[in-house]
């Protein structure tokens, strides 16, 4: 079905190029020692771990969602949007928190193309009255809304438990010291943008506002991808014999599984005719 017209939007048309650039960035980060040569061992392991997740998970999913969205799938379009949120988030960190290296222009290309694709997609979603895509009685309002609020609150508490003691003692948080950075870009992006976005999306959905149905699929898919990337970082650190907190890793794995399940249930509420 292509009656919505979104198959012609810039985000869908740009998806193949974005997938190719993302694959090149990941393939450049994994085998080339020079890519993270100037990073600390912790930050280099996290970068490599995220590269593996980008290559094995994000690239194929972006390719599939872009292809399906081009054929008129509303579900795929929503997944494409969530993937774009993840890429803007992730490549802001690559571009600003990794020392200048041979992949710098690739980082900028992925970031720029992801941002403008997401901007174009936002206009399309707003113009297509996304809430009408859902079968109202099948939307897991409470489950999806509470999941997003809980996710946002959980990560805010985790980051604040590191930041607040650091502020009180007048010293940088341990993660900043380990990464050798001025600040932790994850703290900045999460506390400024993404966690408030999850809370806004979840609360809007609980209040049955149209904004909640528009944002929830994107934010849940972003959250699932981001936690998966964190899992890749933890595994890469463990393989390099860097100390990791396995209890936190298990918690993240549980959160990722729950988020995938909630997202799947939410997407099943999209009119099936839109994906035939």
> What's the predicted TM-score (pTM) here?
0.91
pLDDT digits (tens, 9 = 90+) for 115-151: 999 999 988 887 667 888 898 889 999 999 999 999 9
Q: Which residues of 78-91 are buried (b: 16+ CB within 10 A; e: fewer)?
A: bbbbbbbbbbbbbb
The predicted-structure confidence for 87-101, as pLDDT tens digits, reads as follows 999 999 999 999 999
Strand partners, 134: 270
**Rounded distance between C-alpha atoms, residue 26 and residue 18, angstroms:** 12
Per residue in 49-60, pLDDT (tens digit) is: 999 999 999 999
Which residues are CB-neighbours of 201 under 8 A, at least 6 positions away?
A: 148, 211, 212, 215, 216, 218, 219
């Amino acid at each position: 079905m292509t009656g919505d017209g979104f198959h012609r939007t810039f985000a869908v048309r740009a998806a193949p190029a974005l997938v190719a650039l993302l694959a090149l960035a990941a393939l450049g980060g994994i085998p080339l020692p020079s890519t993270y040569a100037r990073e600390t061992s912790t930050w280099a392991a996290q970068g490599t771990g995220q590269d593996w997740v980008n290559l094995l998970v994000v690239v194929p999913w972006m390719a599939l969602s872009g292809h399906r969205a081009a054929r008129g799938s509303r579900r795929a379009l929503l997944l494409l949007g969530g993937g774009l949120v993840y890429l803007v988030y992730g490549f802001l960190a690559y571009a600003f928190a990794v020392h200048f290296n041979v992949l710098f222009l690739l980082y900028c290309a992925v970031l720029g193309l992801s941002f403008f694709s997401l901007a174009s997609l936002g206009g399309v979603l707003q113009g297509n009255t996304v809430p009408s895509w859902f079968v109202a009685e099948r939307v897991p309002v409470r489950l999806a809304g509470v999941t997003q609020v809980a996710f946002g609150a959980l990560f805010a508490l985790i980051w604040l438990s590191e930041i607040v003691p650091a502020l009180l003692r007048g010293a940088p948080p341990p993660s900043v010291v380990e990464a050798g950075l001025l600040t932790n870009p994850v703290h900045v992006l999460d506390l400024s943008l993404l966690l408030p976005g999850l809370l806004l999306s979840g609360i809007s959905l609980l209040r049955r506002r149209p904004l909640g149905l528009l944002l929830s699929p994107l934010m849940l898919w972003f959250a699932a991808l981001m936690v998966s990337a964190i899992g890749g970082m933890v595994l890469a650190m463990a393989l390099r014999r860097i100390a990791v907190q396995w209890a936190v890793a298990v918690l993240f794995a549980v959160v990722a599984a729950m988020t995938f399940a909630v997202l799947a249930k939410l997407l099943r509420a999209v009119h099936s005719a839109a994906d035939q």
